[in-house]
Chains A and B, each alone.
Chain A
Amino acid sequence: MANLALDMITTSAILFVVASGLMIILGVMKLINFAHGAFLTLGGYAAYLTTEAGLSPWLAPLLAGAVGFGVGIVVERVIVRPLYHRPLDAILATWGLGIIIGQLITIGFGREVQFAASPMTGTLDLGGIEYSAYRLTLTAVALAIGGALTALLYLTRFGLNARAVIMNETLARGLGIDSARVRLLTFGLGAGLACGAGALITPLLSVDPNMGLPWLVNSFMLVLVSGVSIPSLALASLILGSAQVAVSSYISPIIGGLTIVVLAAVLLRLYPKGLGRGT
């Protein structure tokens, strides 16, 4: 039972890490980034290449995050920005970008599955319960990311500007906020978080050109349920992640894979505006 509870907590933490980049971009830019899964895959391959190059696996998430930030900046500037005033086209463009990234990865690395080395192996003893040290580390990383994002949004000038742009972009521009720069940095941050998340989950999974797709779907449902709020995303991750683990353990892993989508639909029926906004 204790192991099940730990599985629920650590799975929720992983979902939070994976979905946070998507939520940040949606919040500031009102854009659902359908390239999120491809960025995640990019991070997975960045981790694979990092360990293949003989570098420490601990560096992989940082390098992947940096690569993601750089790619995000270029994508925002070249693809997303010209479509600011055509939001539906911008969403479709990110979808197309995701396909292109996937194809480029396939051309470069083939369709076969790759494996990246894990930065740590073994278990930790939690009062007589042996549990995966890496999954527990991921939980700490999720808490750190949540804390860092909260600090960024509530303790820095960038965060204040970003929240002002979220609430009323026209007014924010009239008060001297360069909303285009806020959007640029936000997209870079979101892409960096996605790539970093891809590198973080790689030791738990294999790397392949389509690894990001199921995570994109789950992230999308999580953000729909949570709304644009870090505590709400944490809550949504905990509810949906726990449910997924419970269904996978007691009923069937196949049905467990559908749990997040089905439960998200139910929650959206009850809370149409997301958990962050109530009913």
Chain B
Amino acid sequence: MSAAAADAATPALLSVEAVSAGYGGATVIDGVSLAISQGEILTVLGKNGMGKTTLMKTIMGFVKAQAGRITLAGEEVTRRPPHAMARAGVAYAPQEFTIFQDLTVEENLRVGVPDDRTFAERVDSLADVFPRMLERLKQRAGTLSGGEQKMLIMSRAVLAQPRLMLIDEISEGLQPTMIDRMAEVLRATRERNGTAVLLVEQHLSFALSVADRFAVLKLGQIVEQGPAGDPGAASVLVHHLKV
């Protein structure tokens, strides 16, 4: 789906309306509003400590929203717990503590698939995405290399066949060929399942190569939004990420 297809006429799959959230008395994101349509990839960029991960956690239900409203396919989900969000079709790939180290690769994948009956079929589909994961199914996940662990995280999210994926800095620490592979997988998942993606990133070129739109989060607020394909997008973003 192109950016043009994700215009205001398309009903939003995820809608975040004036949401504020934080920890204890501190507000980390302040009045954030954004919307993602089915099949759209939105990247949220920003420097460290600007609230990107808190935004993800608030959508997912790990952090309670202090104000505002979140809807998924028109249904209010602002107070839903994380497991209910996952069951509603939201796959979350967090930045830290992302795999079960002592479970096998297969068990890590199985945890993310709600229906055991379709698991074998879904795992077979990894042959097109990350064939190396099929060779590692019986291996303990904690013994995988860093790149393989990222493959596992992405595989688990893809296998869930979600309506929406929340991906937090998947490119961090990856070599360029692996980053390209991640971009291909995101595009393919969007094309095949119509999955929408909220991609939090600091890797500018990767983010712009896959996203339809971008938003910049600075000190907990969205300060810039626009189509990722705009010729001037990169320079605008470089400015925001440097300042």
**Residues in chain B near residue A164, CB distance under 8 A:** 100, 103, 111
Q: Known contacts A167-B102, A170-B62, A175-B112: does B107 contact A160 (CB below 8 Å)?
A: yes
* A174 beta carbon closer than 8 Å to chain B: yes
User: A171 and B94: CB pair below 8 A?
Assistant: yes
**Residues in chain B near residue A160, CB distance under 8 A:** 103, 107, 110-111
| Among A164, A171, A174, A177, residue most surrounded by chain B Cβ atoms (within 10 Å) | A174
> Would you give the shortest CB distance from B188 to chain A, in whole angstroms?
22
Interface residues on A, range: 10 to 19
Bound-complex Cα distance A170 to B56 (A) = 14
**Residues in chain A near residue B116, CB distance under 8 A:** 157
Within 8 A of B (CB), among A29-50: none
User: B111 and A174: CB pair below 8 A?
Assistant: no
> Main SS of the interface on chain B?
loop
**Residues in chain B near residue A128, CB distance under 8 A:** none
Bound-complex Cα distance A163 to B82 (A) = 18
Q: Known contacts A157-B116, A160-B111, A179-B83: does B103 contact A174 (CB below 8 Å)?
A: no
Q: Known contacts A160-B111, A170-B97: does B62 contact A175 (CB below 8 Å)?
A: no
Bound-complex Cα distance A167 to B116 (A) = 21
Q: Select from chain A the residue with minimum beta-carbon distance to B166.
A: A174
> Would you give the shortest CB distance from A245 to chain B, in whole angstroms?
34
User: B82 and A174: CB pair below 8 A?
Assistant: yes
Q: Known contacts A157-B116, A160-B110: does B100 contact A167 (CB below 8 Å)?
A: yes
User: B98 and A175: CB pair below 8 A?
Assistant: no
> Would you give the shortest CB distance from A21 to chain B, in whole angstroms?
23
Q: Mark B172-210, 1 if CB is under 8 A from A, else 0.
A: 000000000000000000000000000000000000000
* A279 beta carbon closer than 8 Å to chain B: no
> Would you give the shortest CB distance from B56 to chain A, in whole angstroms?
10
The listed residue (A170, A172, A178, A179) touching B111 by CB distance below 8 A is A172
Within 8 A of B (CB), among A147-179: 157, 160-161, 163-164, 167-168, 170-179
> Would you give the shortest CB distance from A8 to chain B, in whole angstroms?
32
| Among B83, B99, B101, B110, residue most surrounded by chain A Cβ atoms (within 10 Å) | B83
* B87 beta carbon closer than 8 Å to chain A: yes
User: B97 and A175: CB pair below 8 A?
Assistant: no
User: A171 and B97: CB pair below 8 A?
Assistant: yes
Bound-complex Cα distance A171 to B91 (A) = 11
User: A174 and B94: CB pair below 8 A?
Assistant: yes
Q: Mark B86-97, 1 if CB is under 8 A from A, else 0.
A: 110000101001
Bound-complex Cα distance A178 to B97 (A) = 18
> Would you give the shortest CB distance from A90 to chain B, in whole angstroms?
20
The listed residue (B62, B101, B102, B114) touching A174 by CB distance below 8 A is B62
**Residues in chain A near residue B160, CB distance under 8 A:** 175-176
Q: Known contacts A157-B116, A160-B107, A160-B110: does B100 contact A174 (CB below 8 Å)?
A: no
Q: Known contacts A160-B111, A164-B111: does B100 contact A176 (CB below 8 Å)?
A: no
Bound-complex Cα distance A178 to B83 (A) = 6
* B156 beta carbon closer than 8 Å to chain A: yes
* B60 beta carbon closer than 8 Å to chain A: yes
Q: Select from chain B the residue with minimum beta-carbon distance to A161.
A: B111
> Would you give the shortest CB distance from A159 to chain B, in whole angstroms?
10
User: B97 and A168: CB pair below 8 A?
Assistant: yes
User: A173 and B83: CB pair below 8 A?
Assistant: yes
> Would you give the shortest CB distance from B100 to chain A, in whole angstroms?
5
User: A175 and B94: CB pair below 8 A?
Assistant: no
| Among B82, B101, B107, residue most surrounded by chain A Cβ atoms (within 10 Å) | B82
**Residues in chain B near residue A176, CB distance under 8 A:** 83, 86-87, 112, 114, 160
Q: Known contacts A174-B62, A175-B111, A177-B111: does B83 contact A168 (CB below 8 Å)?
A: no
Q: Select from chain A the residue with minimum beta-carbon distance to B114.
A: A176
| Among A157, A160, A176, A178, residue most surrounded by chain B Cβ atoms (within 10 Å) | A176
The 6 sampled A-B contact pairs (Cβ below 8 Å) are A163-B100, A171-B94, A171-B98, A172-B111, A174-B92, A176-B87
B contact residues vs A (CB 8 Å cutoff) = 60, 62, 81-83, 86-87, 92, 94, 97-103, 107, 110-112, 114, 116, 156, 160
A contact residues vs B (CB 8 Å cutoff) = 157, 160-161, 163-164, 167-168, 170-179
